[in-house]
Amino acid sequence: MDPRVNIIDKRLEKVKKVVAVSGGKGGIGKSTFAAILALTLSKRGHNVGLLDLDFWGPSAHVILGAEKVLPEEKEGIIPPDIHNLKFMTIMYYTADKALTIRKAAFENAVLELLSVVQWGALDYLIMDMPPGIGDPTLDVIRLMKKVRFCVIAAQSQVVMETVIKTLNTLIELKISITGVVQNMKMNERSVREQIERLHVPFLGEIEFDAGLEEAMGNPDDLLQTGFAKAIDRSIAGKLENF
Amino acid sequence: MHEWALAEAVVVTAIKTAKEHSFREVTDIEIQLGQLQQIDKDVFAFAVEKALKSQRLLFKETKVHFHDEEAVFQCRNCGREWTFEDNKKKLSTTESEAIHFVPEVAHAYMGCPDCQSTDFEILKGRGVSVSSITGERDD
């Protein structure tokens, strides 16, 4: 009997909304979106947590510049405060080492974190998911009843092929989808029509932001980017209302 | 100490099991302590006892039994089996502590003694598990 499964609901009982930021492909800006969305919601006055579940390639700590912090141990694990976010990542425990784990170990590590991390009261827990709709996504769906998915798309046939499959799978599994965000927009072409054809909300578009890289590691600078302004202007409000 | 969080999970599991089986009283809880997680047994036992007090009637006479389980690994690359004792001495305090929090991070710090591959399976002795919960019904 695994006792951890039974405590997860209690650990999340004061968390109002759990949003998994997902997408079919790597490199389309899921981590950046998750981190900046969390910062934006916090700036808008909400209590926000950010959990990096991309154990194979954690990067939210780089985006936030949270490389020299550690959680506190107090009747569980208390995530450190990074720019008003409660931020949790496996990187606290792996440092600069790669984590070569297979799916069963991934599930165990997720279970461990979900059962011992004390988030306290949050308006939002934003989760940065690994790419694809494999075991990690299925684990999150199984373990976190409140989860809703926010899917990142881009105007590329290769990306959209997987985004559509991801959305169809979530629809088949009857999992709540807050909507789709089109990232790295470089021309007039929108994926809105493709998304709305599936009766999934289209949350908005984020233009390709050449200045984003310069702001990495500095939350104040990140919040000044066009990327963050697009989230604040057209996406955060919709997430507040779902 | 995060032993408290795991102890709470054990007790919540015992309450759930008691409900499912209509136990009036839980008589015994058997807990396996996998060596890899390096749980502080005294702290954990104290935390379990404390958490049991949340339901005085259900856990009035409950005996909690702890069983240590040796950690054994098998390399997926060459098939070699080994124990945590073989790796333990080579780990720094920080590495040991990281494994204590999330045993899977052992894959970042340990490898097969023969081929050094970090692609291995934890065959047993990972962490805290409950092997049985026994109780008494009214009927």
Q: How do residues A64-85 score in pLDDT, each as one tens digit?
A: 999 889 999 989 999 999 999 9
**Helical (H) or strand (E) element with B29:** strand B25-34
Q: Does residue A140 surpass a pLDDT of 90?
A: yes
A11, A70, A91, A94: best to mutate for the B interface, most B CBs within 10 A = A94
Does the beta-carbon distance from A3 to B6 stay under 8 Å? yes
Q: What is the pLDDT at residue B1? A: 67
pLDDT-based confidence at residue A25 (cuts at 50, 70, 90): confident
User: Residue B79 — pLDDT band, cuts 50, 70, 90?
Assistant: very high
Residue of A6, A96, A102 to mutate for B, most B C-beta atoms under 10 A:
A6
pLDDT of residue B137: 93
Which of B2, B108, B130 lies nearest to residue A94, judging by beta carbons? Answer: B108
Residue in A241, A214, A240 with CA at minimum distance from that of residue A227:
A214
pLDDT at A163 over 70: yes
Angle at A224 (CA atoms; ends A148, A15), nearest 5 degrees: 25
User: Residue A191 pLDDT more than 90?
Assistant: yes
B128-136 β-sheet, strand order: B63-69, B25-34, B128-136
Closest CA relative to residue A190, chosen from A236, A234, A132:
A234
Mutate to test the interface with A, among B76, B104, B120, B128 (most CBs of A within 10 A): B104
Angstrom CA distances, A68 to A63, A155, A222, stand at: 13, 36, 19
Model confidence band, residue B87 (pLDDT cutoffs 50, 70, 90): confident
Q: What is the dihedral of CA B45, A8, B54, B37, to 10 degrees?
A: 0
Compute the average pLDDT of residues A171-188.
94
Q: What is the arithmetic mean of pLDDT over A59-65? A: 97
- Exposed (0-12), middle (13-18) or buried (19+): which is B8, by Cβ within 10 Å? buried
Q: Note whether B107 contacts A2, CB cutoff 8 Å.
A: no
Q: What is the pLDDT of residue A26?
A: 86
Q: Is B123 on the interface with A (CB under 8 A)?
A: no
Q: Do B104 and A77 touch (CB under 8 A)?
A: no
* pLDDT surpasses 80 at B139: no
pLDDT > 70? residue A181: yes
The pLDDT value recorded for residue A24 is 75
Report chain A residues touching chain B, CB-CB < 8 A. 1-4, 6-7, 10, 73-77, 90, 92-95, 97-102, 105-106, 108-109, 112-113, 115-116, 118
B101 touches A: beta carbon within 8 Å: yes
- Per-residue pLDDT at A67: 84
State pTM to two decimals: 0.95
Average pLDDT taken over every residue of chain A? 95
Q: What is the pLDDT of residues A220-230, one digit of tens each?
A: 999 999 999 99
Give the Cα separation of A62 and B77 in Å (integer).
32
User: For B29-62, what is each residue's pLDDT tens digit?
Assistant: 999 999 999 999 999 999 999 999 988 899 999 9
Between CA B19 and CA B13 the distance in angstroms is: 10
Q: For residues A215 and A221, what is the distance between their CA atoms, to the nearest angstrom? A: 5
